[in-house]
Chains A and B, each alone.
Chain A
Amino acid sequence: MRKLMLGNEAVARGAYEAGVTVAAAYPGTPSTEITENIAKYDEIYSEWSPNEKVSLEVAIGASIAGARAICSMKHVGLNVAADPLFTVSYTGVNGGLVIMVADDPGMHSSQNEQDSRFYARASKVPMLEPADSQECKDYVKMAFELSEKFDCPMFVRLSTRIAHSQSVVELGDKVEYQLKEYKKNFDKYVMMPAMARKRHVEVEKRMAALREFSNTTELNRIEWGNKEIGIITSGIAYQYAREAFGDVSYLKLGMVHPLPEKLIADFAKEVKALYVVEELEPFIENQVKKLGIQVIGKDKLPVIGELGAQLISEKILNKKIEVKSPINDVVPVRPPVMCPGCPHRGMFHVLKKLKLVVSGDIGCYTLGALPPTEAMDTCVCMGASVSGAHGMEKARGKDFAKKTVAILGDSTFIHSGITGLIDIVYNKGNSTVIILDNSITGMTGHQHNPTTGFTIKGEPAKQVDLVKLAQAVGVERVAVVDPFDIKEFEKVVKQEIAAEEPSVIISQRPCALLKNVQFDGPLTINNEKCKKCKLCLAIGCPAIVDKGDKIEINEALCVGCKLCTKLCNINAIEKAGDLNG
């Protein structure tokens, strides 16, 4: 049976067909849909873990216990999971273990553009890289076999355009996989120095065997065409290269670590001009050059952003394409915005009004850095808001802490914020931490987390009580406030930043997109009352439009959250009447 599938959906199918029974992940664009799709298979236990480190450790445990296990994350998530990664490379596996990592060249939805292939090299874990949805499924299946054959975890690397592209997949049968026997094996699974020294020897032996394997596996294949030009490429870059060069010769690498050195040398001998076409860093290029082979790569192609067929044609083949004159000077910019009804909007209004230093974090609320709110000073990584605010206080003193807050979402707080909060309490900080509890993981598209009370499969679960949690780590000042009660919110923020001890404010209101969130319907502006003071525009709601001569509410966008009514001193914002009435 053939089916149109997103790359991520195909990965999930591959895991299913390989007989995986345990899957763990923390959501992150562009990897999220892998685990969302895995959760649809009843045969597989799946979970949203609190963070990527936990998810990898869950998968490692499952593997040691004899199951095939998969763990998925975005590129920056791999930084979080790096600790177990480097050591599971030593222990190896029992049941097959596959780590999915999705890079985001072009940073569609990320804070950096790191190239995960270097992790494969640094941790000595082999890496496969599919080039379309069919290969996503096939490579994941094969990765499980290789994981068990070579006794090592396997990486499968995606990039946004593979993860979020749909193409046809031929579905296969599910492998009947029996749990492997579980045996105590201190030498293999207890990584104390004496054992780890022995395991490192095994790692080097395995990598030598894998280097040989890379030369002969069908994962790395030569497609002979015109031999004037030879292209070494992999993943999405292969698709772009094929479109740009047409009938030339390709060495298409499905295994990007370790590289097939002999195959590369043989290929290079046969072609006149050799190019490496790869996105981001010269990962393949530098290794080819180290073999003493002349090759052209990043001297022509950028290390920044995504490649494309056109870009490759221009840079390497010097082809210019005639393009219709753009209209960019009149097309309005359209930055992503917080949704109408978004609970964060009320909070940002207060923070901006109080002119606070806002130590920010990763989530929908990062959009608060953009106009019109412009109320965020920093954004580095998951959890850095909390620890960063503490660092700011230690650098500039107590008075600075009195005009600083850290803000982060509920899921981000559980992921990495709690450790920073413990640091503040333990090391005598005074920071104020605002947890935006919107009852869901918002930005990645509504995933449950330990604070929502439901599992990935929607089953009820114990809910982390954020108030008790903050109290338990020693925070004595904990307040819960509705960010749409602007006056109360402002009062609480003022009070807590003034306090010379750590405070937690839980800004509690569910994401406006949740199905159970109901408002009364759109509002309208009564133009007889409206004095055009524009106070309502300050919250930056996409539904409120300044038409010059009047302010208008777009009833198609307005959800009726009524936040704007709280800013209007003359009650000029009213419920919209029946459109047809």
Chain B
Amino acid sequence: MNYDILIAGVGGQGTVLASRLLAASALKAGYFARTSETIGMAQRGGCVVSHVRIGEEKSSPIIPLGNADLLIGFEPAEAARSIGRLSKNGKCVVSTRAIMPVTASLNTAPYDPAPMIEFIQRNAANAILVDGYALAEEAGSVKALNTVLLGVAVAAGFLPFGKEEIESMICENVSPKYVELNKKAFNIGVSYNK
């Protein structure tokens, strides 16, 4: 079994924790896992991607173009930007709320999320679009967008492991004072679409 998950978002959205939870859950389920992160200058306000590769020890940390089974987009433009890595039968979970780049806020490059979302739908075998921030706010903080999206993905059957693995990894990997918030957000994500 090989399963490649690409996470795309904007620096500060919590993509690194999402990839750690996915990789740790995969290990828990008995698979090999590898990730690659964007850490450093790009992190604040820039594009960030995390690669999570599950199953095969003989794979590099970077998902080749056209190879990802799942794209988790924290932001519509960032999901659209990364669609080249999605495979023919690839699936998407995308948070629909746009984050304007500073260039757009200066009105030099206006950004309308609608064509991005349309593009994602056209290019994914199955795309779940969700106002992830609304669900995260419901859980108590916009910071929990990452666990909300993992919940949506696992409930849709888009992950090679179950809800229990992720939940136990939230307990192990999230700092104790945020465990409850993240578990709540994760479960709100799970219940979405039901």
Contact = CB atoms under 8 A, between A and B. Distances in A.
Interface string A539-576: 01111111010000010110000000000000000000
A239 B61 CA distance: 8
Nearest to B47: A334
A327 B119 contact: yes
Contacts of B115: 330
Contacts, number: 173
A288 to B, nearest CB: 23
B41 interface: yes
Given A30-B39, A161-B62, A327-B116, A335 B81 contact: no
The residue in B64, B109, B123 that gathers the most chain A C-beta atoms within 10 A of its C-beta is B64
A256 B60 CA distance: 20
A333 B19 CA distance: 24
Interface in B44-74: 44-47, 58-62, 64-66
Interface string B20-53: 1001100100001111111111111111000000
Contact of A308 (B60, B78, B84, B111): B60
B11 interface: yes
B109 A165 contact: no
B77 A242 contact: no
A364 B45 CA distance: 12
B14 interface: no
A334 B45 contact: yes
B142 interface: yes
A109 B41 contact: yes
Interface residues of A, number: 58
A479 B194 CA distance: 62
Contacts of A445: 39, 43
Nearest to B34: A167
A164 interface: yes
Contact of A108 (B32, B38, B80, B142): B38
Contacts of B62: 161, 240, 308-309
B61 A168 contact: no
Interface in A130-165: 132, 161, 164-165
B109 A243 contact: no
B191 interface: no
B101 A308 contact: no
B114 to A, nearest CB: 11
Contacts of A339: 44-45
A477 to B, nearest CB: 33
Contacts of A161: 36, 60-62
Nearest to A28: B40
A338 B43 CA distance: 10
A168 B101 contact: no
A371 interface: yes
A539 to B, nearest CB: 10
Nearest to A537: B106
Given A308-B62, A330-B116, A336-B11, A165 B36 contact: yes
Given A165-B37, A334-B46, A339-B44, A4 B65 contact: no
Interface in B109-127: 109-111, 115-116, 119, 123
B44 A336 contact: yes
B102 A327 contact: no
Contact of A166 (B20, B43, B99): B20
A323 B84 contact: yes
Contact of B102 (A164, A167, A243, A337): A337
Contacts of B11: 336
B6 to A, nearest CB: 13
Nearest to B120: A327
B77 A334 contact: yes
Nearest to B58: A242
Nearest to A310: B64
Interface string A440-453: 00011100000000
Contacts of B107: 546, 548
Given A4-B23, A240-B60, A537-B105, 20 more contacts: A108-B38, A108-B41, A132-B34, A167-B32, A240-B62, A243-B59, A309-B59, A309-B60, A323-B66, A327-B83, A330-B80, A333-B109, A334-B10, A334-B46, A334-B101, A336-B41, A338-B44, A372-B106, A545-B105, A554-B100
15 contacts: A4-B23, A166-B20, A240-B60, A242-B60, A309-B62, A324-B123, A327-B119, A330-B116, A331-B80, A333-B101, A335-B102, A337-B44, A337-B45, A337-B102, A372-B102
| Those 7 A-B pairs whose CB atoms lie nearest each other, nearest first | A109-B40, A336-B46, A29-B40, A239-B60, A109-B41, A546-B107, A334-B101
